[in-house]
Structure 1
Amino acid sequence: MTRSILPFLVLALTAGCASQRLAGADLDRVKRPAFISRIEEGAGPKSVVFREDSAYEAKLKKLEPVEADRRLTVKLQQAVTRFEISERLRVNTLSQLPREYPWTRVVDPARVASVLESFLVEEVPANAPDYDLVTPLGADTVVEFVIQEYGMRSTKGHAGAYVRGYGRMFTLDGRSEVWRRPFEVDQVATGEAHLDPFKVGKNPDLFRQALTSMLDKVAVTFVKDLTPKDRRGGPPVAGPPGSAAPDTIPGAAGQRMQAKPPEKELPAGELPDPDPS
């Protein structure tokens, strides 16, 4: 089995737990769906690289693992905003759905975000929204994506990014859930290339690239789930259902490697330099 399909294997295995397949008949009954994407409070980003893996002790020297993880967490926060993460999953899923009913009748995402104050996700806790607020917009169903945890971890000196959460669809009248898909994508578990935490410390955009790539894989899985073949459906309609996902986040510029051994004091808030490639 090649590495390129391993992330999908993780998605498939995770989906076997508390998942629910979307039946074509249930989708046929949907008239006007509203899409919501959010990140749970305290979901991340988190770094447990140095606390859970002793392989970095020699590199850290006098720097405590807990402090090293704190510094790396700050770098991860600089790499990508919570708003971009949640929006990327929503937009990439919606933009790939077929131009057929009910996906041609999706409630305007801007109006949904406005009533739920989704644009304030960076300033306020990401609590579960008041779903009744989207009913006046004409919605009868909610498609919700939730990110429960994301960050970086490491095993035996092999580090990587990870993200887990779930997608679900439920009716607003009675809150009947008709689809659920838990997901977990973990670069360490799937044997992806090592994501050097010290390089991420100098160039946080490396984490953004890894995370957005994983979210795009999740979106592909969601699209497949949301297009069941056992349905009547509707006629195709030309034109894209949504705008492109945000894809540009300013990354922290790399810094010059220190010429002298690590005995030199680290700058405040910084991790040791990566080893020469």
Structure 2
Amino acid sequence: MTLIGHLRELRNRVGIALLFVLIGTAVAFWWYEHGLGDFIRAPYCNLPEDLRYNEADGSCGLLVTDVFGGALIRLKIAFIAGIVLSAPCWLYQIWAFITPGLKRNEKRFGVSFVAVSTLLFALGAALAYISLSAGLRLLLGLAGEGVVVALTAQDYIGFVISLLLAFGVSFELPLIAVVLNLVGVLSHAVLARSRRWIYFLTIVFAAFITPTQDPFTMLLMAGPMCVLFELAIQVARVVDKRRAKREAALGLQGLDDDEASPLDAAPSPLDPRPSALDEPAQTQR
């Protein structure tokens, strides 16, 4: 393709991806009144009655302080849910655009990376949602007796989204360490030697990135991250052992970075191609 052809294809695929996001947003906007809104409010509504705002009939509720607040909150939730619902479609558009320029092994690594990263993000978001009620109970309980807690819909939705994103993104960091090891940038020896610093920095990172700033949520994020980092270290150990065996078989083990590798002087076989003599003679008329 020419440069104009690539730009035209990129424009078409971005347009198709946005169309799928729009369809997903419309579906989520309808779904809001059929379970999605209750799913978002469930961690807050599961709190004891003295820690949440109760309406006249005893049900929990969130406050809206402006005229367009309810509509904007519903649109915001529908847009985020639409991105999640349409993720297979727009991810396929991205993959279809970049896959012609990849080799076979690069395609395999790309599919594995996307699958594992999606699983880790979903795992982190699910853990954040499960721990949301406990974190809210701890934070709102610090207000003490005689204080009525009434959360606005804007503050609560923003808090939930930031917590889900924080857990989901943080669970991707061990995968980045594995990718750096696969490309030869980060070795197992460096990771093993820095294990204590990795755990310490993980705890510090969890303390800063969690929006709740309470020790329960911080430890709930730091614990699984430390386990994932330890798993990444063990994966790097296996990868480095296989790389060392492969280099030893090729005679490349122990070479310095500025030392030339031995060359294989044996001629490589040529692809069999039909010669001009093998082609059938064509008669001229």
TM-score norm. by structure 1 comes to 0.30
Instruction: Flag the structure with more relative contact order, 1 or 2, with Cα contacts below 8 A and sequence separation at least 6.
Output: 1
Structure number with higher helix proportion: 2
Please identify which structure carries the higher strand content.
1
TM-score using structure 2 length: 0.29
